[in-house]
């Protein structure tokens, strides 16, 4: 289950939204700023600075969690804001995954680059596409979408990527194992959703 859907996660987001609702930025401006933080993180990865890069990507993830909470606290939730949030989410995740290509990560079962491609394809792209296309084709309504399965939704996917980047510094072989495990879980999530929306 996604962290933000738990009662604890929802209460934390509500508290953060109330606390940060006085910032002189709109929720959409907060959303877009996450991409700026991620771009700095990617630039640092080009310099082989994994820990500073991770710090900026973590900041991007924190801002991403904050924008929706602030919008709810201010009662400024809009469909356009949700759309912008979804697009920027994918941009941030793309830059994060792309950052891993800058490091020498040893293979585990197969090269780390294949794990990263699987994470991008099954995690960042196809899991979301399965949901969006089901809605587009009227296979699912909002209620069914709210109950969709997924062993590794986006929040958990990002946490595993953060862990893998930290492991690049501590133990690169463990980073490779983490990426391999994440690739498998991303594929599993996609097939869970495909089966969920395909069956009668």
The whole-number pLDDT of residue 19 equals 59
The whole-number pLDDT of residue 153 equals 92
Instruction: Return all residues near 164 (Cβ < 8 A) that are at least 6 apart.
Output: 100, 175, 178, 179, 182
- Report if pTM > 0.85: yes
The whole-number pLDDT of residue 17 equals 59
pLDDT under 50: residue ranges of the chain: 1
Phi-psi bin for 109: left (phi > 0), alpha (psi -120 to 50), beta?
A: left
**pLDDT (tens digit per residue) in 164-191:** 999 999 999 999 999 999 999 999 999 9
The whole-number pLDDT of residue 1 equals 44
**pLDDT (tens digit per residue) in 3-31:** 555 666 666 766 665 656 667 677 778 88
Spell out the CATH class of 1-102.
Answer: mainly alpha
What residue spans define the domains of the chain? 1-102, 103-200
Angstrom distances, CA of residue 149 to CA of 1, 29, 127:
8, 31, 10
The whole-number pLDDT of residue 9 equals 61
């Amino acid at each position: 289950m996604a962290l933000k859907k738990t009662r604890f996660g929802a209460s934390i987001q509500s508290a953060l939204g109330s606390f940060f609702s006085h910032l002189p930025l709109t929720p959409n401006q907060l959303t877009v700023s996450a991409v700026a933080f991620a771009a700095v993180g990617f630039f640092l990865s080009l310099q082989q600075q994994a820990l500073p890069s991770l710090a900026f990507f973590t900041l991007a993830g924190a801002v991403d969690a904050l924008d929706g909470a602030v919008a709810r606290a201010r009662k400024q939730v809009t469909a356009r804001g949700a759309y912008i949030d979804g697009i920027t989410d994918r941009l941030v995740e793309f830059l994060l995954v792309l950052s891993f290509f800058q490091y020498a990560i040893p293979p585990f079962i197969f090269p780390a680059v294949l794990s990263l491609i699987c994470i991008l394809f099954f995690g960042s792209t196809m899991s979301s596409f399965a949901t969006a296309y089901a809605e587009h084709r009227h296979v699912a309504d909002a209620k069914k979408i709210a109950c969709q399965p997924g062993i590794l939704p986006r929040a958990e996917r990002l946490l595993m990527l953060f862990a893998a980047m930290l492991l690049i510094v501590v133990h690169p072989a463990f980073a490779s194992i983490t990426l391999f495990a994440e690739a498998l879980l991303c594929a599993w999530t996609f097939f869970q959703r495909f089966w969920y929306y395909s069956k009668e």
